[in-house]
Amino acid sequence: MDLVKKHIIKNNTKLLLIVLDGLGGLPVENGKTELEMAKTPNLDRLAKESALGMHIPVDYGITPGSGPGHLGIFGYNPVEYQIGRGILEALGLGLELKDTDIAVRGNYATVEEFNGKLIVKDRRAGRISSEENKRITQKLASAVKNIGDVQVILSPGMEHRFAMILRFPTPLPEGSDRLPDTDPQKEGYEPIIPQGDGVAMVVREFLKRAQEVLKDEPKANYVLLRGFSQKPKIESFEEKFGLRACAIAVYPMYRGLASLVGMEVFKAESLQEQIKLLKDLWENYDYFFFHIKKTDSYGEDGNWRGKIQVIEEFDGLIPEFLSLKPQVLVITGDHSTPSVLKGHSWHPVPVLLHSPYVLGRTSERFTERECLKGELGIFPAFKLMNLMLAHSLRLSKFGA
């Protein structure tokens, strides 16, 4: 029985979820994390009046990808709903998905021949510009439109990334997307070529043709494919929680994930443009997902000073969010990205929940250590939606 769905009631409250991607951290200097080192007067003031806690994105000790991390805070148990990266990338770039499709995330890469073998020299082709990406993708798409009766659909992403859809004439059996990534994950190794018939055979032919088309490119002379995935069957956010929802994000993958659960998606080019969109859309929706990426990017680069700067810039925008007077405001991350690890980690993620119905006054700042003192405790990420609904008075009483 879906306990939450059974008890949902309607009202006019507004719920705002702000996700600072990769928010959580570990000590980087003088025993302090990025959040602890950042100067955040607005967040600190808000923290004193809010419920704080920590969420576990997937399970104890499990390091989440961005997809599972966001699914959890959207209220979907990521262990039950496993979604491929290719689907997220394709949706984020605005590609329509059908039941006959296999979606893939691609990287342009640099390869060179050595002793008769193809070796990956740079997995990201020197992080070519997005404009260069568009040119190369158009070139590739014009040359490879079909492989037999399979339609090939390509869309450029940001920098070296692109999305590909292989559209088959009829629906594929479940599990047809179980192909290994062709990306070896490290330079100096050969690309991995999928073996077998069916989808694998189509992929091999695409790689062969792509190599021929790109052979004269100085950097992006090959493609690496990751996250082969079929369109999943998933209940929409509005069906599950009774909320008209929208997403405002700069990066394609996060728009894609929101689209997958049925949120209406709005693209922005900057944080200021995101805030303008949020204000313009405020009267049209019940629930708003607002995504900030650079906390994660700097964490992955090991640039803790950059991560601190993004946190401080966000702190300066807190009054703009509060001016909208959301009944429930949540600030959290999809996972932790400690700068000292230069990647995602298994550590719990700080959560701030602001509403008229919190105990509050348990903590002094919005940091990892202060969140451990908070009234929310440590809880599974997919329970966050329960708390948001309860604090917006959208859940009825259980039992007599």
Task: Show the domains of the chain with their CATH numbers.
Answer: 3-82+234-391 (3.40.720.10), 89-229 (3.30.70)
Q: Which two tokens stand for residue 18?
A: 């702000």
Element (H, E) at 277: helix 271-281
What is the pLDDT at residue 1? 57
Report the C-alpha gap between 286 and 47 in whole angstroms: 23
Mean pLDDT for each 10-residue chunk of the chain (400 residues)?
88 98 96 97 97 98 93 96 85 84 95 89 91 95 96 94 96 91 92 93 96 94 94 91 96 86 93 96 98 95 96 97 98 97 96 97 96 97 98 94
Element (H, E) at 18: strand 15-20
Q: Which two tokens stand for residue 139?
A: 């070139």
Report the C-alpha gap between 328 and 389 in whole angstroms: 9
SS3 321: helix
What is the pLDDT at residue 260? 85
Report the C-alpha gap between 337 and 346 in whole angstroms: 9
Across the beta sheet with 51-56, the strand order is 264-267, 245-249, 287-292, 15-20, 328-332, 349-354, 51-56, 377-380
| pTM (predicted TM-score) | 0.81
Residue identified by tokens 């640099």 is 110
Number of C-beta neighbours around residue 325 at 10 A: 10
Report the C-alpha gap between 150 and 170 in whole angstroms: 10
Specify the length of the chain in residues: 400
DSSP label at residue 99? T
What is the pLDDT at residue 158? 85
What is the pLDDT at residue 38? 97
Of 296, 235, 293, whose CA–CA distance to 75 is shortest?
Answer: 235
